[in-house]
Amino acid sequence: MRQLEYWNEHAGESWAENADALESINAASGADAMRRARARPGEVVLDVGCGTGATTLALGRAVAPGGRVTGVDLSAPMIREARRAQAELDVPGIEFLEADVELARFEPASVDVVFSRMCLMLLDNPAAGLGALRRALRPGGRLLATAFRDIAENPWLPLAVIGAAPFIGALPPLPLPGEPGPFTFADPDVPRALLQTAGFVDIEIVAVDTAVTPSGSPEDVAALLIQLGPAGGPYRRATPDRRARARQAVAALLGRFVDDAGRVTLPNATWTISARRPDSCQHEGTR
C-alpha cells in the first residue's frame, strides 16, 4: 500500500524530526475546521491521520475534563513523535493508535466528532473509509476535515519537488491519475459525492484562504517545504553539499513569495468539509 510506505519510509521521519516547524505551515489549514468542530468537554473525538499529534492535543484540551481523543495514523515515526509530545505536555484523555484507518475496527456509534486535517483525500478507498467513519460516529455526530483545493491555487506546493529533484536521489513515485494524493479532493464534488454515498448528511464544503508565514529565511523555508513532501526522504539521505544546492534551488523558486524584508508568505487554499451522521440510524438504510 503506497501510503503506508510513503509515510513510513519517505516522509514520516522528516515530519517527526521537524514537527514544530512543520506545524507552523500546517496549522493554518486546520484552524477553521478546528473552530467549526466545536469540541466540548466530555466529548469523544477521533483524529484521523493525526500525524505528529498537534491537532489531537488541541482537541484533547477542548474536550477536557472528561473527554477522550484517539489520534490514528499509519506512520510509525509520526506516532512515535506524537506520543513523545503527549508525554511532555501530559494532556489528559489522549491515546495514539498506529493503524490504517481503513482497516481499524472502531466501536460503532462511539464517537462525537471525527476530525481530520489533510488526510481523507489520501485514503485508498475513500468511500469505504468514510463509511467506516460514519458508523463510528454516534447518530448526529459530526465530521470536520480539510483538504487542498486546486494545485493552481497552491502554487508553492510543487516547487519543493521541482527545485530539489535535480540534486537528490530518486523520489518516491508521484500519484498516478485515480490514485490518492494531495489534490484528490480539489474538485469539491468529489468529497461531496463520497460523503453522500457513505451516508453523511448536512454536507458543507467551504473555501478557506490563509496566508502561511513560516519563520526563517527563504532557504530555511525551502528546507521545511522539501521535508514536507516526497523529496523529504531523499533530501535527508543526500550529502550536505547536495542538500544545500537543493535548498538554494527551492529558495530561488520561492522568490515570488518573498517580500522586501525577506519574509516568505505562501497562499494556502483549502476546503473545510463538514458533515453529520443522521440523527437516527433508521434513516441510514443498509450502508
Ligand X SMILES: C[S@@+](CC[C@H](N)C(=O)[O-])C[C@H]1O[C@@H](n2cnc3c(N)ncnc32)[C@H](O)[C@@H]1O
Binding-site ranges for ligand X (CB under 6 A): 3, 7, 26, 30, 49-51, 55, 72-75, 78, 100-102, 117-119, 122-123
Give the nearer residue to ligand X in terms of CB position, either 49 or 141.
49
Q: Closer to ligand X at the Cβ: 43 or 81? A: 81
Smallest separation (angstroms) from ligand X to the CB of 280: 29
Q: How far is the CB of 91 from ligand X (least distance, A)?
A: 16
Q: How far is the CB of 89 from ligand X (least distance, A)?
A: 16
Virtual torsion, Cα 250, 221, 230, 269, nearest 10 deg: -100
Question: Smallest gap, in angstroms, from Cβ of residue 255 to ligand X?
Answer: 26
Nearest CB to ligand X, comparing residues 13 and 73: 73
Quick one: 101 or 266, whose CB is closer to ligand X?
Answer: 101
Q: Are 98 and 73 in contact (CB under 8 A)?
A: yes
Q: How far is the CB of 7 from ligand X (least distance, A)?
A: 3
Q: How far is the CB of 189 from ligand X (least distance, A)?
A: 22
**Residue (27 or 258) nearer to ligand X, CB:** 27
Q: How far apart, in whole angstroms, are the C-alpha atoms of residue 256 and residue 44?
A: 44
Give the nearest distance from C-beta 93 to ligand X in angstroms: 19
Q: CB-wise, 236 or 242, nearer to ligand X?
A: 236
Amino acid at 138: R
Q: Which is nearer to ligand X, 74 or 160 (CB)?
A: 74
